[in-house]
Chain A
């Protein structure tokens, strides 16, 4: 385990997520528990973002259920390495289903950010992109710098999936940017924005 190296990674998560979500159009977004949800909120809250405040390990599977229900819409899951590690089996499930419209961006700072920045397994030998390859994802990339991020962005937005891009970002503590906390509100606003006002609950 190298608990220091992530402190000098060049990419900053808030800037990465701002790029992921700029001119998002019809994109449907699910964000994983913790810093990923604060990042998507800092980039601009939207009813078509479903930010998780819990359900750790569930972000990719929520993305799969949404992608299967809405095959004409692009679904982007934005999550962290700790959240993804808790749901590794979902990579296998997604690999079997092969949803062409699902992409996962992992913001890999090699830390559990919400609990005190303890090292995760990716500070050691664990490689989430390699795991996605092993699960049968046809489109996988590692991103360490700006040039690689520029190449990966159109793949996340448009390449036939499932896509997983593991983005190494600097381990840093940032100001909170909190989305609405009420799960019913988050659900209802998402459904109303996607399905129309005749779809309460």
Chain B
């Protein structure tokens, strides 16, 4: 099964988001994000917004910033492609944009349809002038998110944390 992260990194990420002053949490669910989504939903200082498609979150967070609030947009790697045109909103207006992306299409992936976007995500983000942080070790995730949040909100700029598939487990179709 997927997404049952037994480690403390979801709490570390939630703590980093909280410390960064994140108030709006936009997401399309991913199994690997489940615990972070649940921690944010239970946090009364945060407003969770379930999206139908990821680019909605880029627009939502622009509105949040216009209104004086910080936010984060969380998705699986396939969602990055959906965001591409809306990234221009963040770029042209220099809105802060903090992204958390759980990676698919990496080591052990069972679904080849995930591989093209998984491979393309870092380059797409760089073309969109987004600073890319990649976390491979569970113990470093909290600090990596804190660093990306600083880059996003102090810029203001776009910054993304890619969470390696090795950290979130591999989806199996054998069960």
Contacts and interface: CB of A to CB of B under 8 A. Distances in A.
Interface in B125-151: none
Nearest to A181: B92
B63 A55 contact: no
Residue in B53, B66, B89 with the greatest tally of chain A CB atoms within 10 Å:
B66
A186 B64 CA distance: 15
A136 to B, nearest CB: 13
Interface residues of B, number: 33
B115 to A, nearest CB: 26
Contact of B93 (A66, A89, A183, A199): A183
Residue in A54, A61, A194 with the greatest tally of chain B CB atoms within 10 Å:
A61
A186 B23 contact: no
B88 A54 contact: yes
Contacts of B86: 55, 57-58
Contact of A58 (B24, B71, B89): B89
Given A58-B89, A96-B50, A201-B94, A68 B64 contact: yes
Given A68-B24, A89-B56, A55 B64 contact: no
B68 A90 contact: no
Given A69-B67, A70-B67, A93-B49, A62 B85 contact: no
A66 B55 contact: no
A64 B85 CA distance: 19
Interface in B72-111: 85-86, 88-89, 92-95
Interface in A10-36: 28, 30
B40 interface: no
Contacts of A67: 63, 67
Size category, A interface: 35 or more
A65 B52 contact: no
B64 A66 contact: yes
Given A55-B88, A61-B60, A93 B50 contact: yes
B56 A50 contact: no
Contacts of B59: 55, 57-59, 61-62, 65, 87, 90
B67 A90 contact: no
Given A66-B67, A68-B67, A90-B59, 9 more contacts: A55-B88, A57-B86, A90-B52, A93-B50, A184-B93, A186-B93, A187-B93, A187-B95, A191-B66
Closest 10 A-B residue pairs measured CB to CB?
A65-B63, A69-B67, A89-B52, A58-B59, A183-B93, A61-B59, A62-B63, A66-B63, A65-B64, A69-B69
